[in-house]
Amino acid sequence: MSKSKIDFEKAFLKGHKSYDTAVGDWWERQAANGSHQKAYANVAKFVAAQFKKRGVKQPKVLVDYACGSGYFLAALAKEFPSARIVALDGSKKMLERAEARLAQAGMDSGVMDKSECFGAKGPRIRLAQTSLPNFSLPKGKADAVLFVFPNLTPAPGDQPYYDRHGYKQKPDTSVGRVLARLREMDPEDEVSTVPPQEMYDGLMTDRVISRNLRHLLRRSGAMFKVDYANAHRDELSRLTHIRSLFTEGALEEAVKEEKSEVFFKYLRNQFHRSQVILDVFHQTRDPSDKTGGYFISQFVAV
């Protein structure tokens, strides 16, 4: 099925199982192209460089969160040849492709149950199928978590799980509602067309996912998030930047005298112009999503 015939909005209603459908085949084609391969190599090298700056050549445990079909996982494994890597994904189809890809590359890898994938025994690269977010996974085991080109979409039936794990937590909800209602000064800003409730749902949903990333990390562990972007992060409007920090769990300032919980500190960002932005265009069909690329944001767990 071609990208033009995929109803992404309908497909993503399946939540983590959406990638077992035609969406997974579309993503496999995207991830295999030259733009994505270059991006995966850039991200892996960026992560390695940050550890080297801290005097840590090889972290012990890395997590590839929502690893997909394993293209980035392979790049990460090459950059960190002695690290144990836990690769998590909700799609059976994607993990089967990742398993085959790593086996063909001769890497020490294998499928493990999610309850055992952080244990001492097992292959160097562990592939585990699990819905994400998952707060029953072992807490505080990872030195770094990587979330590359995130596109987690909860199914309607997943909402109670999100509710129990931060979606309804105060004062986060108060801050989220204020940020959802605020509007940019530029009346032509596309963000202003998003209904407040839809904006709020997106903010709180992404925040629960960030909370799960923190759950997996030890204190002072590193989180690297790679987002599609139309411009450099420092070119974002102030409101967009504040919203981003809120969803990432890194907003330290108060909003209308309310402070949300902080579980990450934002450190730095690197922008790359790239055709990977077309992933977004395929879904939105918005011409403005034809230009841009991605940025890598680095955080430390607090």
* CATH 3.40.50.150 corresponds to the domain 3-301: yes
Q: Provide the residue-wise pLDDT of the chain in tens; the chain has 302 residues.
A: 444 589 998 989 888 889 999 999 999 999 999 999 999 999 999 999 999 998 877 899 999 999 999 999 999 999 999 999 999 999 999 999 999 999 999 999 999 999 999 999 999 999 999 999 999 999 999 999 999 998 888 999 999 999 999 999 999 999 999 999 998 644 444 445 789 999 999 999 999 999 999 999 999 999 999 999 999 999 999 999 999 999 999 999 999 999 999 999 999 999 999 999 999 999 999 999 999 999 999 999 99
Span 73-92, pLDDT tens digits: 999 999 999 999 999 999 99
Beta bridge mates, 266: 299
Q: From the CA atom positions of the chain, what is the Rg in Å? A: 18
Cα 99 from Cα 86, distance rounded (Å): 13
The candidate with the shortest Cα–Cα distance to 65, out of 209, 164, 244, is 209
Whole-model pTM: value is 0.94
- SS3 annotation, 242-301: HHHHHHCCCCCCCECCECCCCCEEEEEEEEEECHHHHHHHHHHCCHHHHCCEEEEEEEEE
Pairing state of beta strands 109-111 and 125-129? parallel
DSSP 8-state symbol, 122: S
Q: How many whole angstroms from its chain centre is CA 251?
A: 18
